[in-house]
Structure formats: C-alpha cells, structure tokens
Chains A and B, each alone.
Chain A
Amino acid sequence: EAGVAQSPRYKIIEKRQSVAFWCNPISGHATLYWYQQILGQGPKLLIQFQNNGVVDDSQLPKDRFSAERLKGVDSTLKIQPAKLEDSAVYLCASSRRGGGANEKLFFGSGTQLSVL
C-alpha cells in the first residue's frame, strides 16, 4: 500500500512569511496527525483529526497555526506568520481507526522548515 505522502520536502522562508504543508494519508485511514519535531527532540503533537473532525488541538499555537482536513482525506497545515522558533520538521502521520490505544502510526517523510 502507498505510504503517507507529504510535500514539500524542504521549505526555507523568512520570518513573518507564511507557509503551508500538505499531507495525504494512507488510503482508508480515519485518523490524521500533524507533529512538530525540533532537532534532537521527540515529536510533539500539534493536531489530531478523526475523519474531518478535530480530536485534539490543545498544543496547536492557534494564533499562528491552522490546519484543516476537508472531506476527511488530505490535510493542510499553515503557519502565518512564521517565527524563527518554528524551524523544525513537520511530520504527518495516519492511523487506521479512531486514534485510540493500540493504534500504530504511519509517518510521512516530513517537511523540513527553516525560518531565517
């Protein structure tokens, strides 16, 4: 089966600019996650969707970050305006069912964002 697709692979922007990332999960997977991974750290959950509804966005900086998953399939994550501390890898993941216990996550290759 095809894996989780993400684009772009790399993005370099200046602070205060905006940027958008795209993710297409594995076909049929109900739950989609966006994680932020800063160099040397573990992934930090930004937002979790089940189908097209938000399950958890408690760690999403809502003043600058937004995400949507229209039609319950692919998703976009936007940052506007970007800050230097947003430099990180943004990982999209999906899981088959409702994102509960016993669900293993399948990750995309990520988008490496550098904010200058």
Chain B
Amino acid sequence: GAVVSQHPSRVICKSGTSVKIECRSLDFQATTMFWYRQFPKKSLMLMATSNEGSKATYEQGVEKDKFLINHASLTLSTLTVTSAHPEDSSFYICSATPLGQETQYFGPGTRLLVL
C-alpha cells in the first residue's frame, strides 16, 4: 500500500518550453502533497506544499510563477516548470500523505534535463 507514482520518469526539453510533471497517489487519498527538488549528491529540498482545492504554499526562494502547482483531486498533483532553463535541470520528487496519517510516501522522481 501507499504507492505514489510520477510521470514522466525522465524528460528532456528545450530551453524556454514548459514541462508538466504528474504525481499520483495510487491506492490512497491525499489532501496534501509535497514537491521536492534534488541536485546531484545533495539532499532533497522542499519546494512547495500542495493542498487539494487550494493554492500551494511555496518555500522561500521558490518562484511560484515559474513552478506552477495544481492539486485538482485527492489523488493528483501536477508541477509545471514554465519557461524552463538549463539551471532548472534537476531531479523532482513528490510525496503524499494519506488522510489521517503523518507519514509521507515518495514517488520515484522525475529527471528533468533542459537543453
């Protein structure tokens, strides 16, 4: 149980284009999902907290207009990297917390490479 999926697993795009990453909780509902970014050999950094039916809460230093988050249902959150640049290349990981629990379950991650 508590499986989280992400799609795509990896994506290569040209600079200036937008990329959408989906995060789904497959066997549970989650009012809260989180988006992290991880650079090589570094720890995960929380980017934003996504709440179903409301606006996301962004961490300090994360541009909300660049990283658009939509949490349309209790099982789906999307992260759109708008006007991507090479410095946005990273490993993006989402997590979700089942209703009534405290544990975050993580997706497998999405590798983004911006050329």
Same complex origin of A and B: no
